[in-house]
Structure 1
Amino acid sequence: MQFGVFSVGDITADPTTGRVPTEHERIKAMVTIAQKVEEVGLDVFAAGEHHNPPFVNSSPTTLLATIAATTERIQLSTATTLITTNDPVKIAEDFAMLQHLADGRVDLTLGRGNTGPVYPWFGKDIRQGINLAIENYALLRRLWTEDVVDWKGHFRTPLQGFTATPRPLDGVAPFVWHGSIRSPEIAEQAAYYGDGFFANHIFWPASHTKQMVELYRSRFEHHGHGRADQAIVGLGGQVFMAKNSQDAKRAFRPYFDEAPVYGHGPSMEDFTSQTPLTVGSPQEVIDRTLGFREYVGDYQRQLFLIDHAGLPLQTVLEQLDILGEEVVPVLRREFASRRAAGVPDAPTHASLVAAAAASAATSSVTSSVMADAASVPSL
């Protein structure tokens, strides 16, 4: 199972000091956080994509390429890549380029985003959000799997004899997660293609996330990709920790109260009772996170949001120390001991290359057998 963090890249005033980081400071801080993710033994760093204040990360592949050059092991991902407003041709080429630069340590999470005005900014109609996601991804897959593409759709100009460059590393496209908070159509899309489903359930109760993951799992099996418990699931979450629960709540409360998304809304106590946000001791985070398995089953990736709402960089790095030293080692052991037989690991470039080679070998043997059978004279 993979553990890591995702950053939405917000620039928010520290409510305890009033200090606002510059864009330069915030961008460089995300690089530092990713380097720390690798240092403390976590597996994944994911960056969001936004094109509006208070968020700064409008170019995730640029950020991730910089991180790739300064790390050796961690998986680099997005949270999310906007499949609705980005051109699929640009996504195909950008992520193939990143794949080569990172020696395959790349996957991506596709989503529609949570900012309505981004659609007209990029010449799109928000009322076509689902249709854009469906058509654009169908084209993206072809751009990665076919060397020459002829294509015509509803939302962009046709392609004739087009080849996306560079081609995916080792002929294998990056693994795709489809991220959604509320849209069953996106769960169906992930299941149809046999891709991963990332339920970023940081704002929703367990019952809603359970329903979405169950839909994805049942449809994954329906489409013939394997058993429902073999579907590839990722979850989001939020944590803030201190040695004891009261210190954690005292320290995090001003940040919660002023957070750009949920500040000035429900109390921290109400929000933590109704969503996966966990503010407390390392043991409380362990217990709460292990509880996710009770309503989604065995899953492959757990990402935590820890660097938002104006938290100083030093505090975020301290949170990563706690995750790496006290929380994730226990979660790895406990999740592994409870995992049912036959549940796959999270896909990596190496595993996808091996699967492609095995599939090619099987196809070759089958073709040879069929050819031999066809050459036997009829009696």
Structure 2
Amino acid sequence: MQFGIFTVGDVTTDPTTGRTPTEHERIKAMLAIALKAEEVGLDVFATGEHHNPPFVPSSPTTMLGYIAARTEKLILSTSTTLITTNDPVKIAEDFAMLQHIADGRVDVMMGRGNTGPVYPWFGQDIRQGIPLAIENYALLHKLWREDVVDWEGKFRTPLQGFTSTPRPLDGVPPFVWHGSIRSPEIAEQAAYYGDGFFANNIFWPKHHFQQLIRLYRHRYAQYGHGTPEQAMVGLGGQVFMRKNSQDAVREFRPYFDNAPVYGHGPSLEEFTEQTPLTVGSPQQVIEKTLAFREYFGDYQRQLFLMDHAGLPLKTVLEQLDMLGEEVVPVLRKEFAKNRPAEVPDGPTHAARVAERDAAALEEVAE
């Protein structure tokens, strides 16, 4: 089981002080948060990709390359990479390069994004969102697995005798998660390729994501990749903690009420009741997160959103200390209990290379 954090990189005014960080300050804060994640023993740091204010992470591989040079164990990921508006050739090259820089500590989450205007900015039509996601990923998958590619599709110019460079590290591409909050077509796509499915269940009630995950697991097995329980599932979550739950609610409420993604909507109490958002004590975070297994089955990766809505860096670093010291050690222990032997661990480059080599030896033996 892997635990980590993800960021959307929003530049938001702190409602308690009225101060808005500069883009430079926000970017530097994200880097500090990533380094803190490794320091407190988390497994994963993931950054979103946005091309519009109030967000700053327009170049995730640039940021992750810097973090790779400053860390030793942290898995570096996106949350998400825009498969609809990025050229699959550039994705193939950028993430293979990052793989080499980070000695394999890289995976990637594909998504369509949640900002409609980004499509025409990059010459695409939002009405083609699902077909773009399907075609572009089919090409990316091919580019990482074939040394010389001939290809023709609907949305980009054809390729003839093309080789993407550098080639994936050790001949094993980055592990791919397909992220979705609403689309069964994306769950189907993840299942078809035997990739991971990341249900970013931070906004909608759990029964919606139960349906998506159930579909993904069922189709994963039908496509012959393994049992439903062996499918790779990741989940999102949001937390704000203080030792005393009343203090947590009182401190976080102004940030929640003014957040660009969910402020001025349902109350904090309604939102925490209906979604994974937990505002309270570390024990409350532990209890709510452990309940995810009851809803979705055993899964491989849990990412928390912690640095949004204008929270100052000092506060976020305090949150990470609590997460690393008081929450994640308990979650690791409890999630390991009664975990069936057939349920795989979270993906790592080393494990996937070993799996590839073992399969090759088995073929030779036969």
Aligned twin of 1:159? 159
CA shift digits 1:335-356 (9 cap, x unpaired): 0013122100011000110111
Where do residues 179-198 of structure 1 align in structure 2 (5 Å cutoff)?
179-198=179-198
Give the superposition deviation at 1:364: 2.6
TM-score under structure 2 length normalisation: 0.99
Question: How big is the shift at 1:365?
Answer: 3.0
Query: What amino acid is aligned across from residue 309 of structure 1 in structure 2?
Result: A
Aligned equivalent of 1:18:
18
Aligned positions of 1:20-169 closer than 5 A: 20-169=20-169
Pairwise CA distance, 1:174: 0.2
For residue 8 of structure 2, what is the aligned residue in structure 1? 8
In the other structure, the counterpart of 1:374 is none
Which string of whole-angstrom CA distances, capped at 9 and with x for unpartnered residues, describes residues 2-56 of structure 1? Answer: 0000000000000000111111111111110000000000100000000001100
Query: Which secondary structure does the structure 2 equivalent of 1:354 belong to?
Result: helix
Residue 309 of structure 1: aligned partner: 309
Name the residue aligned to 1:321. Answer: 321
Determine if the alignment matches structure 1 residue 293 to structure 2 residue 262.
no
1:350 paired residue number: 350
Q: Which amino acid aligns with 2:296?
A: V
- Cα distance in 2 for partners of 1:120, 1:291 equals 41
Q: In structure 2, the residue corresponding to 1:202 is in which secondary structure?
A: coil
- C-alpha displacement of 1:359: 1.8
Q: 5 Å matches for 1:217-228?
A: 217-228=217-228
Does the residue aligned with 2:123 lie in a helix, a strand or coil?
Answer: coil
Q: Distance in 1 between matches of 2:27 and 2:332?
A: 30
Equivalent position of 2:266 in the other structure: 266
Q: Hey, what's the Cα distance between the residues in 2 that align with 1:205 and 1:228?
A: 22
Q: Does 1:208 align with 2:221?
A: no
Flag structure 1 segments of 5+ consecutive residues without an equivalent: 367-379
Tell me the distance in 2 between the aligned counterparts of 1:297 and 1:148. 40
Q: 2:98 is aligned with what amino acid? A: L
Distance in structure 1 (CA, Å) of the matches to 2:206 and 2:134: 27
**CA shift digits 1:298-335 (9 cap, x unpaired):** 00000000000000000000000000010000000000
Is the partner of 2:337 in helix, strand or coil? helix
Residues in 1 aligned to 2:193 and 2:259: alpha-carbon distance in whole angstroms: 36
Q: How far apart are 1:195 and its partner, in Å?
A: 0.3
SS at match of 2:202: helix
* Counterpart mapping for 1:360-375 below 5 A: 360-366=360-366
Q: How many residues align?
A: 366
Counterpart code for 2:358: A
Within 2, Cα distance between the matches of 1:189 and 1:264?
Answer: 35
1:212 is displaced (CA, Å) by 0.8
| Superposition TM-score, scaled by structure 1 size | 0.96
Q: Tell me how far apart the structure 1 counterparts of residues 203 and 68 of structure 2 sit (CA, whole Å).
A: 30
Alpha-carbon distance, 1:362 to partner:
2.2
What is the SS of the residue equivalent to 1:203?
coil
Query: Matched residue of 1:177: which SS?
Result: strand
Measured against aligned partners, the alpha-carbon deviations of 1:157-202 in whole angstroms (never above 9, x if no partner) come to 0000000000000010000000000000000000011000000000
Larger gyration radius, structure 1 or structure 2: 1
| Amino acid of the structure 1 residue aligned with 2:82 | L
Partner of 2:199: 199
Q: Which residue of 1 aligns with 2:248?
A: 248
Distance in 1 between residues matched to 2:365 and 2:115, nearest whole Å: 50
Aligned to 1:175: 175
C-alpha displacement of 1:363: 2.5
Q: Structure 1 residue 244: deviation in Å?
A: 1.1
Who is 1:377 aligned against?
A: none
3-state SS, counterpart of residue 237 of structure 1: coil
RMSD: 0.6
- CA distance in 2 between counterparts of 1:364 and 1:151 reads 31
Structure 1 stretches of 4+ moved >6 Å: none
Question: What's the CA shift string for 1:183-238, capped at 9, x where partnerless?
Answer: 00000000011000000000011111111111100011111111101100000000
